[in-house]
Chain A
Amino acid sequence: MQIKILRSQTNTHQLYTLPAGEIPLLNALTYIKETQDASLTFSAGCRASVCGTCAVRVNGREELSCSYKVKPGDVIEPLQYHPVLRDLKVDKQKAKQTLLNASSWLHTSQEASLTHADEKFTEKQSDCILCDSCYSACPVYAVNPDFLGPFALTRAYRYTSDKREGDVKGIVDNIQTNGVWDCTLCGECTAVCPKGIDPKMDITMLRGTSLQHGHSDPSFATQNFGTPDFGGGGFSF
């Protein structure tokens, strides 16, 4: 079987031959590195879909190398919107910065009486492995590199919906600029998440929470009312 991998030094797709058989892409990459071309560079960790290290694009779609079964003719490329360091290895620093900007952590901890239903409420969101697949698939980055993006917003949502959070507004205030309103709700993030997380829905929910805390959709305000200060408590819930 043959696959093509985008090499950064030449910016061309290099053809590699693999033995026939159904193997995870990561095994194929490791095989190439160990036996054919030690300079092929990629990132890998746990092999078990939980460390978030090995996401790449296969035929234009984000996949974890360790769980994707490689097929003849596959074209392997690095994640989008990340600076490529070498071949399939990208720099995730800037993407990680979105977590800091969104302040996606527990702001003010308060003791709460949590139930099984509460656990279920944020179970999926907290399955996130920070593989950056959603970030790579998000078309907003083509026009706004400062967008907080799907994984940071999902994480913000996870904390706003935690009963232990005593300062929901503290998070919500930090996800207005380049945040919840910049998402186009296209659902690409949801489609590629290897953990089945639905950032699009989380962002939709965060819009509701934002309205409850006195924020409003800036484009909506501008287009329909022309007054940028609309929304300061205009909606009541």
Chain B
Amino acid sequence: MIDVLIIGSGGAGLTAALSAKEAGASVLVVGKTYPTNSQTSMAQGGINAALGNVMEDHVSSHIADTIKSAHGLCDEDMVRKMCADAPQTIEWLENLGVPFSRLDNNKSGKNTVAQRQMGGASAKRACYAQDYTGLKILHTLYDTCLKENIDFKDEHYLLNLIVKDDIVKGATFLDMRTGEVLQIDAKSVVIATGGYASLYHGYTTNAYGSTGDGVAAVLRAGGAVSDMEFIQFHPTALKHSAILISESARGEGGYLVNEKGERFVDELKPRDEVARAIFAQMQEGQRVFLDVRHLGEEKLMELLPQEVELCKIHEHVDPATELIPIKPVAHYSMGGIDVDYALEVTGIKGCFAVGECSNAKVHGANRLGGNSLLEIIAFGRFAGENAYKHSIYASSKPAEEIQKQKDQAELDTLLTQENPQNFYPYRELLGNLFYEKVGIVRDNSQLHEALKEVIEVQVAQKHMGVSDKNKTNNQNLIDFLEFKNALLLAPTIISSAIARDESRGAHFKIGFEEENEDLKKHIVLQWKRES
């Protein structure tokens, strides 16, 4: 039996794999895509560490900025750990060969890494690799995994965790190529499956697959989720395609303007405030643009080459000479699987969660740009080590195949169901519903409406299914399973938002526009056991 099963092959999963292996564990990484296809590749702006390479900076400032942005909802011990680990995290990445952008300062190692300004930061703190920071970290991690002989199972879709007596025993997967269900037994499990912002289908910067598969699996297995209502909206996505334009565009001096050409907000405020300011403009009927023309073509190509290209392809504008039409869209899920100080899932022993899928309580009500890449690497290593430690004393008695048989039966039913209703229109409906009613600015009547509509869709879901009945390589089936996960998580987000009669960070509610000290707490949800 393998020691550590890692589910998800993005930056968090690969990092956990490397650290568990280094600690001495046998490791298997299972993901629904190939490792380098993950959401991590899309992180552009940077990874925070108080190195002070460009200007004075201190770990204490990084901690203070993160706590401030979290609006009282973070766990300060976890924030301290992450921020204090940040410099050695960069050093670790530097040793693996990450091709960071560099300064000319005659120094060596991590002290040559270039750093830039991000919103809500009191110093130039984000280490970057042009605007491909996530991509270059992810690929370097992957190269290192190959070097270290990490085993992978690609294109295996997580179905369910196997939990007995509140202890994780492994998980079941659908081998997407063959259509077979398989059970993988393990002494410890690390969930690193990414966030759930794709629930906002059509209104998200996320890849199609960010449907919260791991978060939903934890709920089904009896574990807890928390802070689900905190969804970060990124201020600047392209208006028509919802494709992300990095915060570094503003960090480097870009302006936000309305159609009258007026600036209406300090562009370097945290994302929640900037997103609300844009939303207010849009409510007034104003179109909003990102203006980077004054930076000049040469600087744009140097600092933001990817953004320039994306604007040309998807919005038909040249940022060097034209305004970029933008809108705020769902970008990051602060909430997720509830974990303790060791990143162990509340309610499931031996199961750890790391990265966007987990709620390690470092981002609180609003995440700072540059802290998500830091979290996946710093805590990815921590999760790998802790999972290995758990595996040393864990039982090696494999679980029975009850879950596997149940999953197989469910899939067989789906593949034989006659005349199912097409679920794709509902996926779109769910996205629209969430953007309109569970979006940047919320109010209780809309949230209640949203909950009612979601329950209607859940009822209707029993008649939905897949029209493609092929057993092998059935993407229609995967899309449906992902949709089911998103739909399962939808009420947790809405009901938490309803319960939170206040405004805090990314959660803003009309009629309750201030923070309420009594609600300075996490809303934790767990399914009741069937008796």
Q: Which residues of A contact B (CB under 8 A)?
A: 24, 33-35, 38-39, 41-53, 67, 69, 85-86, 89, 91-93, 96, 99-100, 103-107, 109, 111-119, 122-123, 126-130, 155, 158-159, 162, 164-165
Task: Determine the chain B residues whose CB is within 8 A of the CB of A164 once the complex forms.
Answer: 94-95, 97
Please, how many angstroms separate the alpha-carbon atoms of A123 and B129 in the complex? Answer: 9
A38–B467 CB distance below 8 A: yes
B residues apposed to A, CB below 8 Å: 33-34, 36-39, 41-42, 94-97, 99-104, 106-109, 112, 114, 129-130, 132, 135-136, 139, 143-144, 146-147, 154, 177, 207-209, 241, 243-244, 306, 309-310, 313-314, 422, 424-425, 466-468, 470, 472-476
Asked if A109 and B97 sit within 8 Å, CB to CB, the answer is yes
Complex contact A104–B475 (CB within 8 A): no
- A123 and B130 contact, CB distance less than 8 A: yes
A48 engages B99 (CB within 8 Å): no
A33-B476, A109-B95 given. 16 additional CB < 8 A pairs? A41-B474, A41-B476, A42-B475, A46-B207, A49-B313, A51-B37, A105-B146, A106-B97, A109-B96, A112-B109, A116-B102, A119-B101, A123-B130, A126-B99, A162-B97, A164-B95
Report Cα–Cα, A53/B313, bound state, in Å: 18
Checking A107, A111, A117, A130 against B108 with a beta-carbon cut-off of 8 angstroms, the contacting residue is A111
Is the beta-carbon distance between A113 and B314 smaller than 8 angstroms? no
In the complex, what distance in Å separates the CA atom of A105 from the CA atom of B147?
7
Q: In the complex the two chains form, is B135's CB within 8 Å of A85's CB?
A: no
CB distance from A21 to the nearest CB of B (A): 12
CB-defined contacts of B99 to chain A, threshold 8 Å: 119, 122-123, 126, 158, 162
Q: Of all chain A residues, which has the CB nearest B113?
A: A114
A45 CB contacts on chain B under 8 angstroms: 33, 37, 207-209
Min Cβ gap A115→B in Å is 5
- CB neighbours of A100 from chain B (8 A): 146
Asked if residues A47 and B207 are in contact (CB atoms below 8 Å), the reply is yes
Q: A11 vs B346: C-alpha distance in the bound complex, in angstroms? A: 51
CA distance A36 to B100 in the complex (A): 45
> Please, which residue of chain B has its CB at the minimum distance from the CB of A110?
B95
Q: How far is the CB of B111 from chain A (nearest CB, A)?
A: 9
Question: For the complex, what is the distance from the CA of A200 to the CA of B497, rounded to whole Å?
Answer: 54
Q: Are B313 and A129 in contact (CB under 8 A)?
A: no
Are B103 and A50 neighbours in the complex by a CB distance under 8 Å?
no
> Are the C-beta atoms of A126 and B109 separated by less than 8 Å?
no
Q: Which residues of B contact A128 (CB under 8 A)?
A: 139
**Chain A residues, Cβ within 8 Å of B468:** 38-39
- Residues in chain B near residue A117, CB distance under 8 A: 104
**In contact, B97 and A127 (Cβ under 8 angstroms):** no
In the complex, the answer to whether A114 meets B313 with C-beta atoms within 8 Å is no
A39 to B474, CA, bound (A): 7
Residues of A contacting B: mostly: loop
Whole-angstrom distance between the alpha carbons of A42 and B475 in the complex?
8
Residue in chain B with minimal CB distance to A162: B97
Interface pair B33/A53, CB less than 8 Å apart: yes
Q: Across the interface, which residues of A come within 8 angstroms of B306, CB to CB? A: 49-50
Q: How far is the CA of A33 from the CA of B472 in the complex (A)?
A: 17
- Residue contact A105 to B473, C-beta cutoff 8 Å: no
A103 and B144 alpha carbons, distance in the complex (Å): 10
Flag if B38 contacts A51 (CB, 8 Å).
Answer: yes
* Cross-chain contact B241 with A47 (CB below 8 angstroms): yes
Nearest to A93 among chain B residues (CB) is B154
Q: Once the chains bind, are A104 and B314 in contact (CB under 8 Å)?
A: no
Q: B476 touching A50 by the CB < 8 A rule? A: no
Min C-beta distance of A48 to chain B, whole Å: 5
Residues of chain A contacted by B132 (CB below 8 angstroms) = 50, 126-127
Contact check, B473 vs A89: say whether CB atoms are below 8 A apart.
yes
Query: Of B100, B208, B470, which contacts A119 at CB under 8 A?
Result: B100
30 contacts between A and B (CB under 8 A): A34-B425, A38-B424, A38-B466, A38-B468, A41-B474, A41-B475, A43-B475, A46-B41, A47-B207, A48-B244, A51-B36, A51-B42, A52-B34, A53-B33, A53-B34, A86-B470, A99-B146, A105-B97, A106-B144, A109-B96, A114-B102, A115-B102, A115-B104, A116-B102, A119-B101, A130-B139, A158-B99, A162-B97, A164-B95, A165-B97
Chain B residues with Cβ below 8 Å from A159 are: 97, 143
In the bound assembly, the distance between CA atoms of A103 and B466 in angstroms comes to 42
Q: In the complex the two chains form, is B472's CB within 8 Å of A86's CB?
A: yes
In the bound complex, what is the Cα–Cα distance between A165 and B94 (angstroms)?
A: 12
- Which of B97, B313, B466 is in CB contact (< 8 Å) with A24? B313
Q: Are B102 and A119 within 8 A (Cβ)?
A: yes
A111–B208 CA distance with the chains assembled, in angstroms: 39
Please measure, in the bound complex, the distance between the C-alpha atom of A86 and the C-alpha atom of B178, giving whole angstroms.
11
B162 to chain A, nearest CB (A): 27
* Most B Cβ at <10 Å: residue of A44, A105, A118, A123: A105
Q: Which residues of B contact A114 (CB under 8 A)?
A: 102, 108, 112
| Nearest 6 pairs of A and B residues by beta carbon | A106-B97, A34-B424, A86-B473, A105-B143, A113-B108, A39-B468
Specify the chain B residue showing the minimal Cβ separation from A164.
B97
A46 and B42 form a contact (CB under 8 A): yes
Contacts of A127 in B (CB 8 A): 132, 135
B424 with A53: CB separation less than 8 A:
no
Residues of B contacting A67 in the complex (Cβ-Cβ under 8 angstroms): 313
Which residues of chain B are within 8 angstroms of A38 by Cβ–Cβ distance? Answer: 422, 424, 466-468, 476
Cα-based distance from A119 to B473 in the complex (angstroms): 41
A149 to chain B, nearest CB (A): 15
